[in-house]
Amino acid sequence: MADPTITQKAADNIRVLSAAMVEKASSGHPGGAMGGADFMHILFTEYMNYDPQDTAWPFRDRFFLDPGHMSAMLYSQLHLLGHYSTEDLENFRQWGSPTPGHPEIDVARGVENTSGPLGQGHTFGIGAAIAERFLAHRFGEWTAHKTYIYISDGGIQEEIAQGAGRTAGYLGLGNVVMFYDANDIQLSSEVSEVMDEDTGKKYEAWGWHVQTIEGNDPDAIRKALDAAVAETDRPSLIIGKTIMGKGAVTEEGESFERQVSTHGKPLSGAGASFEKTVKALGGDPDNPFAVFPEVAAFYEEVKTEKHAYAEQKRTEQEAWASNNPELAAKLEQYLNRDLPEIDWAGIKQKPDQATRNASGAVLSHLADHLDNMIVASADLSNSDKTDAFLKKTTSFVKGDFSGAFLQAGVSELTMAALCTGMALHGGVIPVCATFFVFSDFMKPTIRLAALMEQPVIFIWTHDAFRVGEDGPTHQPIEQEAQIRLLEHLQNHSGRNSFTALRPADVDETTVAWQLALENTHGPSGLILSRQDIKSLPANGSRYEAAKAAEKGAYIVQKEEGGNPDLILVGNGSEVATLIEGAKLLREKKKLKVRVVSAPSEGLFRNQPISYQLDVLPYDVPTYGLTAGLPVTLRGLVGPLGEVAGLDHFGESAPYTVLDEKFGFTAERVYEGAVSYLEDFE
C-alpha cells in the first residue's frame, strides 16, 4: 500500500491541476474533478494494469469515463503518467489542443472513449467488457482484463443506464467495476431535487454487487476495490459518496465544498478563491500547473512497475503463442481486424426477394467464415433476419460466451452503445439490427460512433412506408434523410463520417455488406426492405453488375442510341419501380432513358468528378423517386432536377395499396416524368 502522505499529496495535486485548467480556460467543471481525485489516483496506481510505454497494449485494463465534463480530472491523471504535457493542460479547451472540454478518443494518450453525452460512456465500457469475455473464451483467461468505469449522477439518470445495467447484470460481467461518483450535486441543482431512488437497490435488482463508501477515504476506496476485483460472477458498483469541490475554500479560508456552482464554473467564478484553494491543497498559486516533486517521483515508480507487469504478461503470451500457433495467428488477425477471404460471389441469393432476406443470406454465410463477428438484435431477430446468423451460433448468457449473438432486448440505444463499446475494445466486429424507424432511438450513439471513427455495422430493415399495416408509427419517412446527413459530415480524418447503403435488390445487398465490412474508418448502415423487390436487369451476372454499387451510384440501365433525354435515379425499392416507369417512357414517348441506382451518395461523391458526371451529367433532366423526404435525393438530381417523394407521414394499409395511393407505381413515374419534362422545356 502506498504511503498515506503520497496518496493525499497525489490526490491534491490532481485537484490543483484540474482547478487550474478550468481557471485558466475560464471554462469547465472543477468541482467533480476535485471530488473524484482520490479514487482516480488509487485506481490508476494500485489497481489498473496497463503499459505506460504502450497505451494500445490489447490486454490492458480499460478505463471508461462517462461524465465527459470531468475531463480535467482525466487529463490531470494522465499527465502524472506522462501522456499529456504541462502545455497541454495549460491549453485546456483551446484551439488545436489535445485537451478538449470533453475527452475525445485518443488511445495513444490513454483516453479510451469520447465521452460527454451522459450515459453512453459507461455503456461503451460494458460493451467492451462483453468483447473481453468473447475473446477470453476463445483464447484463454490469460487475455482477461478488467473494465473500470466512472459514472456520475447524470449518467445514472440517463435512460440508457437502465439498459446497460440490466445487460451487465444479466450476463454476469464480473470483469466490470463501476465507480459511481455520488456527490449529490448536479449542474443546476442538488440531486435531491431530481430523484430520491435507492440506486444501490436498483443495481442489486439487476444482479450487481453493490457497495457504498465514503468516496474520498483512501482506505474505504481500497477495501471496495479489493472486493470488486475479487467478485467474478457479478458486475460491481461502488457508490462513492464524494465531496463536490473537495478542498475548495473562500478568500477568508472557509470551506466552499459541496456547492452547486463549482460543478460548471471556475472556482473564482463560483464563489471560491482559486489562489487560496491551491495554496490550501499544497500548491503554488503562481505556478498551479506544477507537479509536486514527491508525486512526480512516485509516478516514475508506478510507470516502471506497470511496464514490468505488462512485459511479464507479454512473456506469458509468447509462451502461449509458441504452444498454440494457429490460435495465435487467429488472435492477431482479430486484433488487426484483418478480414479472411470471403467468397462474396459464392453467396447464393434468391432473385426477387426482400433485401432483408438477402442480408440474412449474407449473415448465414458470414457465420461460417467470420469467426469474430458479434451480432445483436433488439428483439427482432426473426424480422430483421439476423436469425440466419443466430441459427449457426448461440446467444450470450451468464458464464457462457461461446456464442456470438447478443439478445439486446427492446433497447435500441443501449444496443448501439454496447456494439460501439465492442468496437472500441477491438478484436471483434460488431453488428446490430432493428427496424429503420427505430434508428431514431440510436442516433446519439450513431453520432458518437461516427465521431470516434468506429466500424460498427447497423442493420435497419422495414425501410419505408411499405411496412404497411403497422401504420405510420413504424413507417420511416424522414429517417433516411437524417441518416444521410452524416454522409455529408467529415470525421477528423477527413473521411465521410458514416456510410449509408440502401441496396436496390438482393445482389446489391451482397455488395453493400462487403462495403460495410471493409469500411474501417467509421460506422455503416444497411437500409433494407421488408417486402420483396424485383431483381434489376443485367446483361449476364446480376451480381457482377451490382459490384458497380461500390462507387455509390451507377448506371443500371443505359439509354439506347445517343445521349439520354432523361435520367431516373433512386435507391432501394424505388429503383425497380423506376425500371418499370422507364419502360413506359420508352414505349409511349420514345425517350432515351437512363436508370441509376444510388445506394450511397456519400460514396458516390468520393468518386472522381469525371465518373460522377458520366453517371449523372448536370445538363440532362434528372428525375428522382424516393420513399422518404424529397431532400433525400436532392443532391443527386441537381438544381434543375425534380424528386418525387413524401412530405407526410404514412398510413395503415397493405403496402401495395400504399404504393398506389402514394404514387409509387410505374404509371405514376411515367406521369411525373412527363410533367417534369414539360416544365423543364
Measured CA distances, 397 to 172, 388, 624 (Å) = 8, 19, 47
CB 480 within 8 A of CB 635: no
CA angle 254/257/260 to nearest 5° reads 125
The catalytic residues are: 412
Reading the block at residue 211, the C-alpha cell is 457497495
Helix, strand and coil in the chain, % to nearest 5: 50, 15, 35
Would you put residue 377 in left (φ > 0), alpha (ψ -120 to 50) or beta? beta
554-557 and 593-597 beta bridge pairing: antiparallel
- State how far the Cα of 416 lies from the Cα of 188, in Å rounded to an integer: 30
- State how far the Cα of 455 lies from the Cα of 350, in Å rounded to an integer: 28
Amino acid identity of residue 68, one-letter, is: G
- State how far the Cα of 629 lies from the Cα of 647, in Å rounded to an integer: 6
Interacting residues of 431 by C-beta distance below 8 A, sequence separation 6+: 373, 374, 375, 376, 386, 419, 456, 457, 458, 459
**Which parts of 370-487 fold into alpha helices (H)?**
381-384, 387-390, 412-425, 439-452, 479-485
Which residues are bridge partners to 210 per DSSP? 237
Q: Where is 303: in which H helix or E strand?
A: helix 293-323
Interacting residues of 120 by C-beta distance below 8 A, sequence separation 6+: 66, 158, 160, 417, 444, 445, 448
